[in-house]
Structure 1
């Protein structure tokens, strides 16, 4: 599956992407805002990422623009909530921060989640990363009023994570680009 937005192509990762992924995410400033990425991030981690099986219900995409890697975005199942919720996660390489790429990719991922049949998305951001909270609000997520401590390998400890949710039935569907 591929998805085209105004400026971006969301596409699956391939083995030949490992070096570009390593170059984008092997930055402590990026990994410290992620709950599941290892630190230090090694080339072997990127190679493992690109060799993972693709699961249609839980897609992960590279965020690219004119063959440049901007970051990665995807959805994963949420523990044992049982409400059909999946969690949105993403990262953007430091040279591309502040350019609206996360917002644009998240809008595309919301459309993909809806097409797959998901009805609810959850997401979170570390409390000291308000930029990610702004992205989530721009694409329709609402704070749940809850937070949780989540571990980040890039931080080396747990930190407060502000939780958000999005009911896809409440969202207008964006036109799907070919």
Structure 2
């Protein structure tokens, strides 16, 4: 568990309360516009999502981390911060729309970044759709820097998306993660980023 001034970041649990909260986060169409999955339609889908995605990455240094963002006074998930244990160390976040523009995402993500640094991770990457510059602004606030862009036929939504890849190094190497550059043939470096 990680604590900040306002928040508790903890593992999601397979409880009725957490699954209901997960459903609230992932059912909203606007919140999920720039996420790789479709909005959830039921609490059963939320439980399936938990079992298929979160339980496998629920706070283990090897497989990655999936933290529930909760206000201390309620300890009920309002969002999440996740990072993959795979080579990309892909870092992501989401929060319910009624908590947008309150600094919740930045506060939670910064705490997880400090945690990862203390765990000995050497870097993280994060990507955002070029049509979602607000996510890029959060990445910049957190200290990530733009490295390159690439185009991907995004699944399961099956639409072409241009992603900007950012990275934060915790060591002195400053080696840019090349996985997306090598995987997607249409890649480039933008001269000016909003």
Pairwise TM-score range, normalised by the shorter structure? 0.7 to 0.9
Counterpart contact for 1:33–1:152, Cα < 8 Å: no
Q: Which runs of 5+ in 1 are unaligned?
A: 79-83, 171-178
SS at match of 1:75: strand
2:90 partner SS: strand
Q: 1:116 to 1:148 in 2, by over 3 A?
A: farther
Q: Which has the higher contact order (CA 8 A, sep 6+)?
A: 1
* Whole-angstrom CA distance in 1 between matches of 2:165 and 2:60: 25
Assess if the C-alpha contact under 8 Å between 1:32 and 1:152 holds in 2: no
Instruction: State the match for 2:68 in structure 1.
Output: 62
Structure-1 separation of matches of 2:155 and 2:134:
17
The question of 1:77 aligning with 2:85 is answered yes
Pairing partner for 1:164 from 147, 163, 166: 166
Q: What is the DSSP-based 3-state SS (H/G/I as helix, E as strand, rest coil) of the residue aligned with 2:30?
A: helix
Preserved contact between residue 152 and residue 158 of structure 1 (Cα < 8 Å)? no
1:97, distance to aligned residue in structure 2 (A): 0.8
1:128 paired to 2:127:
no
Gaps of 5+ in 2: 173-194
Counterpart of 2:98 (choices 78, 95, 100) is 95
Report whether the alignment pairs 1:43 with 2:46: no
Q: Calculate the aligned-residue CA RMSD, in Å.
A: 2.0
Q: Bigger CA drift: 130-139 or 143-152? A: 143-152
TM-score by length of 2: 0.75
In the superposition, the TM-score normalised over structure 1's length comes to 0.81
Does the 8 Å contact 1:10/1:63 carry over to 2? yes
Bigger radius of gyration among the two: 2
Q: How many residues align?
A: 162
Contact 1:9 1:64 in 2 (8 A): yes
